[in-house]
Chains A and B, each alone.
Chain A
């Protein structure tokens, strides 16, 4: 079974440019999450999709970030315009729906390392 995939693995852009990150979850996983780790800090939650619907986007830093999941399959995270502080590693995770009141097990992608110069 293929795991969560993310593209690109690395991206280097200049301040003010636009970058789009892509995540392909494990097939059949309705839940899709985006997280980010900024240098020296902890991994932080950005948002959560259930199929194509945004369930929680409380972690999105500001309106320069836009996430979509058209058709409930892959997801994109666009940063426009990028700022220096957006540099970090962006992780995607997917999971099956929660059952029995227990938290779902999230499977992580390898991450996209974004560098904004």
Chain B
């Protein structure tokens, strides 16, 4: 069975400091991984997916199959990065994909 683990419920950093939100997964197949973000009073939205290998809002995430990790990183945190971040793993199902989420990490960027 697939599982996504986000060990930190809350991560507090100062503005300008580096950020790393941890995500580990277990999955027997070939995983496709995502980071979703939910800003205050907004809906859950896709931040980035590993297959795209892109940087969004300064965030990057590299899939490490050896360590089964997909940590989210940003070199310099900004106040507007404060939000709830969810790591998710996709499993294909009948033309779509169902997502398995971690419990989420609340990122708080302090001035």
Contact = CB atoms under 8 A, between A and B. Distances in A.
Interface of A: 3-4, 30-31, 33, 35, 41-45, 48, 50, 55-56, 59, 91, 95, 97-98, 102-111
> Is the contact region of chain B dominated by helix, strand, or loop, or is it mixed?
strand
B3 to A, nearest CB: 10
Interface string B97-111: 111111110000000
A47 to B, nearest CB: 9
A103 B93 contact: no
A111 B51 CA distance: 27
A30 B93 CA distance: 14
Interface stretch (B41-49, B59-67, B71-79): B41-49
B95 A55 contact: yes
Interface string B28-55: 0000101010000001111001010000
- The 4 A-B pairs at the shortest CB distance, nearest first, are namely A55-B94, A103-B97, A103-B90, A108-B44
Interface of B: 4, 32, 34, 36, 43-46, 49, 51, 86, 90, 92-104
Contact of A45 (B34, B99, B102): B99
14 contacts: A30-B95, A33-B99, A35-B101, A43-B44, A45-B99, A55-B96, A56-B93, A56-B94, A98-B95, A102-B51, A103-B49, A103-B51, A108-B44, A111-B44
B1 to A, nearest CB: 11
Given A42-B104, A106-B99, A108-B43, A48 B32 contact: no
B96 A48 contact: yes
Contacts of A95: 96
Nearest to A50: B95
Nearest to B45: A108
B44 A50 contact: no
